[in-house]
Structure 1
């Protein structure tokens, strides 16, 4: 019970260490989600609207990559960014930038796969109309992405939630450096091992509230899209 009270006290009093960790976590995860959306949504729409040899295999691969092990992604990014790696000259290993890269790789398949399914379902409904209007490939993609914007917001929120809850990859490429690359998840793991339960529990409470808020936002976006469609 004392640990619970101390955890709430850290949150209520605005503990500087706790909120610095929260700010960094949000900055990294939001950046990764936005970059992933720019890459994944056009990719998902392209897969939904085009037919080419090997497309089915690519869709299966994309769906399989939704379950990419974070530690494997972290290792791959570490090898790329290490001094002996091909991108080692950039000097961004153990920085927030490296963490953004790792999280982006993790969530691109999630957003792309959800986008593909959403746009493909919508294409069935809009195919005849868009063909009759002689809309080109780019126009089709833009039209369907815009019309599915509320459903795609759910995909974006799913990607952000995945990024915010990630620990393995960001610990490998970020190094869990105090005040620089320490996120909520890595801090929880570290502080628990050190026995500093109030800080760990405080961060855990913030993370749980954040995840709940993301799911509530996704649910609200879906309801809004259904009402708009109705």
Structure 2
């Protein structure tokens, strides 16, 4: 218990002193995860709304596949992306392996199905209510999607925050394609895993506390903003 208490005090001290290494890790983690979440929202939200509007053969199979992708094992995604980005892979010439860009791609692949699913479900309910009106007004698919976005702003916000939470907590995929390089691709989750294995509990606990605070902050902001959107 004494060792644990000392580790906690040391972790709090690192946070309070704004340890440069700790700050670099936090900044990189937030930057990579925010970028991945934004890309996932830009790509996934239109797909989710389109699946609610469109009617074509194989639509239900595509919806089932999209929901199945929610359970993608991160290490498998990381391995697949590693093979694509390695020197012998199709995208090897781009030199993206073991860079923050590769980490963004990995997190985007994991977060996009979440956005699609969280946007599709409420969009389906909204389209059932407003679809006839949209068709009567002759709205195009693009304008219909824009209408669903305007009516379902809360679902967009929820999808983005869920994607961010998924991205910033990721470790398996990004450690494979990022390499956990100190000062370059080391994030909070990969650093926690590494420092714990090394026995450096103060840094691991400090990063863990920051990650926990970020998660609580994201959840709180989500509830507040969704509540405000719902009141309008």
User: Normalising to structure 2: TM-score of the pair?
Assistant: 0.96
1:203 aligns with one of 204, 207, 224: 207
Q: How many residues align?
A: 228
> Match of 1:3?
7
State the SS of the aligned residue for 1:66: helix
Shift of 1:133: 2.0
> Which deviates further from its counterpart, 143-152 or 22-31?
143-152
Q: Deviation at 1:41?
A: 0.7
Mapped contact 1:154–1:221 kept (Cα < 8 A): no
Contact 2:39/2:108 (CA < 8 Å) preserved in 1? yes
The answer to whether the 8 Å contact 2:103/2:177 transfers is yes
Kept in 2, the 8 Å contact 1:102–1:169? The answer is yes
2:75 corresponds to 1:77: no
How far does residue 36 in structure 1 lie from its aligned partner after superposition? 0.9
Deviations 1:3-43 (A, max 9, x none): 11110111111110101000000010001011111110111
Q: What TM-score results when the alignment is normalised by the length of structure 1?
A: 0.97
How far apart are the structure 2 equivalents of 1:131 and 1:89?
47
Instruction: Identify the residue that residue 164 of structure 1 maps to in structure 2.
Output: 168
The yes-or-no answer on 1:12 pairing with 2:16 is yes
Question: Of 214, 219, 227, which residue of structure 1 is paired with 2:223?
Answer: 219
1:151 and 1:105 map into 2 onto residues whose CA distance is 20
For 1:85, what is the secondary structure of its paired residue?
Answer: coil
Are 1:173 and 2:177 matched, yes or no? yes
* 2:151 corresponds to which of 140, 147, 150: 147
Give the SS at the match of 1:173: helix
The secondary structure found in structure 2 opposite 1:145 is: helix
Q: Please list every run of 5 or more consecutive structure 2 residues that lacks an aligned counterpart in the other structure.
A: none
Runs of 4+ in 1 over 6 A off after TM superposition: none
Is contact 1:118-1:152 (8 Å) kept? no
Q: Is the 8 A contact 2:118 2:155 kept in 1?
A: no
Residues 191 and 204, structure 2, Cα contact 8 Å, conserved in 1: yes
Aligned to 1:108: 112
Moved more, 108-117 or 144-153: 144-153
Moved more, 72-81 or 217-226: 217-226
Per-residue deviation at 1:119? Answer: 1.1
- Higher deviation after alignment, 219-228 or 22-31: 219-228
> Aligned Cα RMSD in Å?
0.9
